[in-house]
Structure 1
């Protein structure tokens, strides 16, 4: 049974409890509202941040319910270019009780107004590894328009290397949207994406969106350091370009043995070829396959796609 309480009832209840606690002659023993009723009130206010914040101050018993809604889904923008997320990490250090409530997190590279227009915040392994270590309940992570800083962490004293976790973490949904690279070299973008994936083991869903990879020679592709423990169940790749090197890197991971769903958007004939090899490697274990060929001419796309994949009989 779902009980819906009008806002006026919720507001009146909060005011009455607050007034009782403020009475100078009131007994020290507090009147406890049943937790079931507390949950009903909090669930009704799930998207009202101001009211939820007020409810968290009513009584200690109210805090877990309010924190569940207040911190369940967060979007953090950087304070500056090089250490823009230090304030958030400091907050987690000082408030460890908040960490179990954070389930969805978006780190945005679009900084606050004091950052010049067009500049994006830098994220490196230290930030990523620290967040995964502390936010044990985190299920969905989005890196949105960030610049990946390679395997270094920047501080006032300079740069120093960061160690990756010995056991990559199983994860729910990882979304990489318009990720760019701070490093230099012909394969910087492909290397950056593969470096990010080193922190993850089994991933239920990986979305790679609006990423422009590098057009690498085969000799450079063979030297790529790939996250061998990565095992993706559902892979989405939309608006990606020159994806051959990245897909070749995936062939060196556990992903080809774990894929059950593919959602691909082809933007060039070379992407069709690389996606075809991925489909062929996944084989009959695929339960769902969606391929968007609308950006290509029908004749070229059909020819390239069906030539590079032997899985077409089961599509």
Structure 2
């Protein structure tokens, strides 16, 4: 009786079903030498250099970059970019072996030395997603890196403290004449350099074509540059997600003087607003920029930490906050009556407070509640409860 035989395509299908089980994939390598290439495709699809030692072990295991399994990698995470960039400049070949990476994450919140990103320029022509969260790279180098990937769609810039610095010495080495396609999602968390990043993005030769924009606002001046980004990709923008983390001084209860301008983003389908403050006047200002030209906008989502209990606040604060919520209620009714835009409110509460949140929303937004076009999502721990008025 002959040995059992499975066609290669069946073996490949079996291995593919185990793509998210690395331990089992490792055992599959011991079944047959013919299974090794297919298992490597999944074992090395997501590589993470979390520490400097990880990178050193990789280079010792695969001393010849041309024969390493790096070409199987689609997601590459580097949490020691200061070491990786120096190693790349000295040895060159190891990063170039990752030529099929579509998502690159460079994460680091430590270190003071400024190193060059030039070794990473266009190391993977297939790159479509770039996430940079590091305090050691000047913005000039970050944007040179961005411009080197012509197929780049998604961009995530996150920095608590940004080094802008002088013009980099390697600037003459790489002069971008084109820009990425930028047709995906732009996430920007740059409290201290929002203006600089916005100016660089708006000056890219090919323009901006993002369909989704996510921004975090810690200073009112950030709203101006968020508005500029919205206007810059208004021809393609379908969703905005704005985080508003400005907490006013205790004695300041008046409304903000600026907000994000959505008037030019007429192709919007959804607007999401997140806030950690009881002031909603900035949200009212933003919604006032919605006009009859916004034919596709169908939903406004508001995330709040917890629906406020105005009775527990000082009288002055309570009156101002209540007036702001009434203004929000009024403009939401207008948007529903004129454009048919529904409202979704989402917040996190403890189990004991879950029952009273619906009543508070009904008191703060009475008109929109009466019309039955509000949806609540209440998150308690890891569970969520959906209620429709």
Is TM more than 0.5 here? Answer: yes
Partner of 1:107: 106
Q: Where does residue 169 of structure 1 map in the other structure?
A: 150
Contact 1:260 1:287 in 2 (8 A): yes
Which residue number in structure 2 is paired with residue 231 of structure 1?
Answer: 209
SS at match of 1:40: helix
Instruction: State the match for 2:128 in structure 1.
Output: 139
Structure 1 position 244, deviation (Å): 3.6
Aligned to 2:53: none
Distance 1:272 1:57 in 2: 68
Shift of 1:121: 7.0
* Alignment deviations for residues 47-95 of structure 1 (CA, whole Å, 9 cap, x no partner): 31684497299536632552244123331122636935627963133x3
**CA–CA separation in structure 2 for the residues paired with 1:70 and 1:38:** 16
> Do 1:151 and 1:162's aligned partners in 2 also have CA atoms closer than 8 Å?
yes
1:43: Cα distance to partner?
3.2
Structure 1 counterpart of 2:180: 200
Q: How many residues are treated as equivalent by the alignment?
A: 245
Residue of 77, 80, 83 corresponding to 2:82 = 80
**Pairing partner for 2:93 from 87, 90, 98:** 90
What's the CA shift for 1:271?
8.7
Structure 1 108/57 Cα, relative in aligned 2: closer, same or farther at 3 Å? farther
Whole-Å separation in 1 of the counterparts to 2:223 and 2:25 = 50
Cα pair distance change 1:215/1:164, threshold 3 Å: closer
Q: Report the CA distance between 1:205 and its aligned residue.
A: 1.1
Q: Which whole-Å CA distance do the structure 1 matches of 2:211 and 2:80 have between them?
A: 31
Q: Which residue number in structure 1 is paired with residue 318 of structure 2?
A: none
Q: CA deviation at 1:34?
A: 1.8
* Structure-1 separation of matches of 2:82 and 2:199: 36
Tell me the distance in 1 between the aligned counterparts of 2:112 and 2:256.
Answer: 28
User: Following TM superposition, by how much is the alpha carbon of 1:232 offset from its aligned partner in structure 2, in angstroms?
Assistant: 0.8
Q: Distance in 2 between matches of 1:177 and 1:139?
A: 17
Cα separation, 2, equivalents of 1:230 and 1:224: 7
SS at match of 1:231: coil
Q: Do the aligned partners of residues 123 and 230 (structure 1) sit closer, same or farther apart at CA in structure 2, a change above 3 Å counting?
A: farther
Q: Which runs of 5+ in 2 are unaligned?
A: 46-73, 167-175, 249-254, 295-330, 342-389
Provide the residue aligned with 2:11 in structure 1.
37
Change in CA separation of 1:79 and 1:152 when aligned onto 2, cut-off 3 Å: closer
Q: Is the CA contact 1:177–1:208 (under 8 Å) kept in the aligned structure 2?
A: yes
Alignment of 1:157-306 (within 5 A): 169-178=150-159, 180-184=161-165, 199-209=179-189, 211-214=190-193, 226-228=203-205, 229-238=207-216, 240-241=218-219, 242-244=221-223, 246-247=225-226, 249-250=228-229, 253=232, 255-268=233-246, 273-275=258-260, 277=261, 279-283=262-266, 285-298=267-280, 300-306=281-287
Three-state SS of the structure 2 residue aligned to 1:107 is strand
- 1:224 to 1:265, Cα distance in 2 relative to 1, 3 A: closer
Aligned equivalents of 1:106, 1:74: Cα separation in 2:
6
Q: TM-score, normalised by structure 1?
A: 0.58
Change (3 A) 1:108 1:68: same
Contact 1:45 1:52 in 2 (8 A): no
Distance in 2, Cα, partners of 1:125 & 1:213: 21
In the alignment, the residues of structure 2 paired with residue 91 and residue 261 of structure 1 have an alpha-carbon distance, to the nearest angstrom, of 38
Distance 1:126-1:306 versus aligned 2 partners, 3 A rule: same
Cα distance in 2, alignment partners of residues 123 and 215 from structure 1: 22
- Alpha-carbon deviations, 1:246-300, whole Å to 9, x = none? 33552673x121101111112349998342x1x11102x11111112442413x3
Q: Matched residues in 2 for 1:261 and 1:85: separation?
A: 40
Is the partner of 1:66 in helix, strand or coil?
helix
DSSP-derived class of the 1:207 partner = strand
- For the aligned residue pairs, the C-alpha RMSD in angstroms reads 4.6
Distance 2:106 2:93 in 1: 15
Deviations 1:196-240 (A, max 9, x none): 9x853232111223x213487xxxx98996225221111112355
Helix, strand or coil at the partner of 1:41: helix
